[in-house]
Amino acid sequence: MGPETARPTPETIGFRQQLQDPKHRRKFIHTLIFYFSFIALGICRAQHGPAFLDLAQITGSNVEEASVYYTSLAVGGLIGSVFMGVLIDKLAKHRQTLLASSCLLTAASACVIPLSRNYALTTFIFGVNGLLTTAFDSETYIKSRNYLVG
């Protein structure tokens, strides 16, 4: 009984062999999608801090007035996490569609923020961006418990 007859264990199976299994391949693809989605989410969230003074200048407000943007972002985040928690329970079969749409809408709302010259509209867009980023974040957390490789 040489090494040729030894049965492979999950620890000794190579990465390419594991990808032959459709279930493992699906989980691996979902894991990659989650990783890239969180990279995109981090980029969307990271834009707010460095652009703060520029946004205040664009909207013609001072620092005290522009700090309302972050309050709106936080309130939108609170609403977004509650909203997505309820929505995931109601639409359990459409979680992938919810994930993709919230990711795209988060990116779109982050792109629209610098284009706004109106103070009230910018505050509203910050709230929408907070709602979408937190909805996306809570949705991926709930979904990742079922799909991640590991």
Cα 49 from chain centre: 18
In the prediction, which pLDDT does 58 show? Answer: 93
The model carries a pTM of: 0.75
Question: 62: which residues sit within 8 A by CB, 6+ positions away?
Answer: 56
Mean pLDDT for the stretch of residues 76-105: 85
125-134 exposure pattern, b = at least 16 Cβ within 10 A, e = fewer:
bbbbbbbbbb
Give the pLDDT confidence of 24-55 residue by residue, as tens digits. Answer: 888 888 788 888 888 888 888 888 888 899 99
Paired tokens of 148: 């991640």
**What value does the mean pLDDT take over residues 64-76?**
94
pLDDT 10s digits, 91-115: 878 877 888 888 889 889 988 998 9
pLDDT of residue 130: 92
pLDDT higher than threshold 60 for residue 3: no
SS (H, E, C) 1-37: CCHHHCCCCCCCCCHHHHHHCHHHHHHHHHHHHHHHH
Between residues 129 and 144, the one the model is more confident about: 129
